[in-house]
Copies of this chain bind each other. A is one copy, B any other.
Amino acid sequence: MAFKTRIAGTVLILLLATGIGMAIGISLAGAQIAEPRVVGWQRDKGWGWIWGDDDEVGALNAMTDASRLAALRLVTDGKTFDLGVTYSRNSYKWPGHSPCEVMTYRSPEGEKRQADNPFIAEESNPAGTGWHSCALFISDNVGTQIDGLAHITVGRDNHWYNGFTEADWGGDFGVRKCDATTIPPIVARGVMLDIAGLKQVEALPSGYAISPADVDRALHAQKIELRPGDVVLLRTGTLRYWGQDGADVEKIREHDSAGISLATARYLVEHFGAMMIGSDTSGLECNPPHEGANSFIPVHSYLLVEQGVHIAEFHYLEDLARERIHEFCYVAATNKIAGTTAGFALRPLALR
Contacts and interface: CB of A to CB of B under 8 A. Distances in A.
| Max chain B C-beta neighbours (<10 A), residue from A69, A97, A181 | A181
Given A137-B136, A336-B347, A316 B107 contact: no
A49 B135 CA distance: 29
B173 A114 contact: yes
Nearest to A345: B335
The 10 nearest A-B residue pairs measured at CB: A69-B78, A110-B172, A65-B78, A88-B338, A333-B347, A68-B78, A108-B158, A98-B135, A129-B295, A2-B319
Nearest to A178: B132
B187 A107 contact: no
Contact of A104 (B72, B117, B170, B297): B170
A135 B139 contact: yes
B132 A102 contact: no
Interface string A158-185: 1010000011111111111000010011
Interface string A294-335: 111110110000000000000010110001000000010111
A72 B72 contact: yes
A347 B334 contact: yes
Contact of A170 (B107, B124, B298): B107
A236 interface: no
Interface string A1-39: 111110000000000000000000000000000000000
Given A1-B81, A88-B339, A133-B341, 16 more contacts: A82-B333, A84-B336, A86-B337, A88-B337, A103-B173, A104-B171, A107-B172, A110-B171, A113-B168, A113-B169, A114-B173, A124-B296, A135-B139, A136-B337, A143-B335, A333-B347
A49 to B, nearest CB: 17
Interface in A177-232: 181, 184-185, 187
A151 to B, nearest CB: 6
Nearest to A76: B69
Interface in A132-165: 132-141, 143-144, 150-156, 158, 160
A166 B103 CA distance: 15
Given A114-B173, A337-B102, A151 B139 contact: no
B170 A82 contact: no
A41 interface: no
